[in-house]
Each structure stands twice: as C-alpha cells, then as structure tokens.
C-alpha cells in the first residue's frame, strides 16, 4: 500500500530575508515539522508501506515530492539532517525529490484525478481503520490549515477535536493504517 501526505506550509514572501521564529529559519515554512513527519514515516514499523510526502510552500508556490523510502536507511536520523535534506529539495531537485511550481488549487485537482483526497482536520468524521482507504492523499497543515475555501469540497477526517502538530497526526494515522493492514503494532 502506498501512503501519500500533502503537507501545506506558508513560508515567507521574501525568501531572501531570514525569517527566524522559535530559533528556526522559516523562510520556506515549517520545514522542522515536515522533517519530523519524515522521521515518523521512516520508522521501522512502517517499512512495508510505500511512503511519499508532497510539500506545498504557499509563499513561493513550489511543490516538492519526496519519496521517503529513498531517504530512509541513508543514515539521516536527526531532525537537523532531515531539515537539511528538505532545504536541498527546496533549492534543487535531488535523486529522492522533485519540485515544480504550481497553484495549490490546481495541485489538488491534479491529485484528485488519481487519488481520493482527504483533509485531516479537527472537524469531520472520526478516523477509524474503516475510514482508511488505499490510493488516498491525506492533506495536513504544518503551521496552519490549508485554505478552507479550497479544501471544503474534499472529505474530512479527524483524530479528535483538539489541535495536534502535523507529525503527531501523521504518526497516529500511520498507526491506524498499520493496524488495519496487519493487526496491532508490537510494543
């Protein structure tokens, strides 16, 4: 089974100026949160799933596609290493990622042609193993949710009424997917 996450992040309009918040350069959005998502997806418990991340950076309208399985096993075990990989992907194509410039709404239309598109949010149907389907793109926001007017037409699922960080949501969803496919994950 292939699992695809579309992570929406904002970034700074003027990428030439350093935008540091909470000690992190946020010119390209919350790449630190995206690095933690990659770390979650790289976990040994999920090795039998094909995992991809699509990162949309609103300020520069760049989409980065990352094949997580190509990064896993290369010795990138720290968040800072994964953060640097993401910076490489923003600045140029590498062997494990590609990038294009596209509008967010058009990106969703292109993805909808091939996948079911599901928005992970605090509102919506409560997530369960039965609500998980193959061939799905799950949309999650890194520092804020994607525009409601654009994602309103897609199915919404929720892990609960509280706001969680994107890496926590992805970890929980991966646990449910793994449980649905092969039973409980051993402790």
Looking at the predicted structure, is the pLDDT value of residue 173 above 60? Answer: yes
**Residues 61-71: pLDDT tens digits?**
889 998 888 87
- Domain annotation covers residue 112: yes
Residue 102 lies in a domain: yes
177 is a domain residue: yes
Tens of pLDDT, residue by residue over 94-149, are: 777 888 989 999 999 999 999 999 999 888 788 877 777 778 999 999 888 899 99
44 within a domain of the structure (yes/no): yes
pLDDT for position 114:
92
Average pLDDT score over the chain: 83
Q: What is the CATH number of the domain that holds 22?
A: 3.40.1280.10
Q: Quick check: is 96 in a domain?
A: yes
Return the higher-pLDDT residue of 175 and 94: 175
Q: Is the pTM of this model over 0.95?
A: no
Domain range spanning residue 89?
Answer: 2-182
Inside any domain, residue 187: no
SS3 track for the chain:
CEEEEEEEECCCCCCCCCCEECCEECCCCCHHHHHHHHHHHCCHHHCCCEEEEEEEEHHHCEEEEEEHHHHCCCCCCCHHHHHHHHHHHHHCCECCEEEEECCHHHHHHHHHCCCEEEEEEEEEEECCHHHCCCCEEEEEECCCCCCHHHHCCCEEEECCCCCCCHHHHHHHHHHHHHHHHHCCCCC
- Does any domain span residue 162? yes
Residue 62 lies in a domain: yes
Domains identified in the chain, total number: 1
């Amino acid at each position: 089974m292939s699992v695809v996450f579309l992570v929406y992040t904002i970034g700074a309009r003027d990428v030439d100026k350093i935008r540091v918040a909470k000690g992190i350069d946020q010119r390209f959005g919350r790449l630190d949160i995206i690095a933690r998502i990659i770390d979650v997806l790289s976990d040994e418990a999920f090795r039998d799933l094909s995992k991809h991340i699509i990162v949309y950076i609103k300020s520069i309208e760049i989409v980065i596609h990352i094949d997580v399985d190509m990064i896993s096993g290369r010795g990138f075990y720290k968040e800072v290493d994964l953060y640097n990989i993401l910076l490489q992907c923003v600045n140029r194509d590498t062997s494990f990622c590609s990038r294009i410039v596209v509008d967010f709404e058009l990106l969703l239309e292109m993805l909808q042609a091939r996948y079911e598109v599901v928005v992970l949010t605090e509102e919506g149907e409560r997530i369960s193993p039965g609500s998980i389907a193959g061939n799905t793109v799950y949309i999650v926001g890194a520092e804020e949710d994607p525009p409601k007017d654009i994602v309103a037409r897609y199915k919404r699922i929720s892990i609960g009424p509280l706001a969680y960080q994107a890496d926590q949501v992805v970890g929980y969803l991966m646990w449910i997917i793994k449980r649905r496919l092969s039973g409980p994950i051993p402790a």
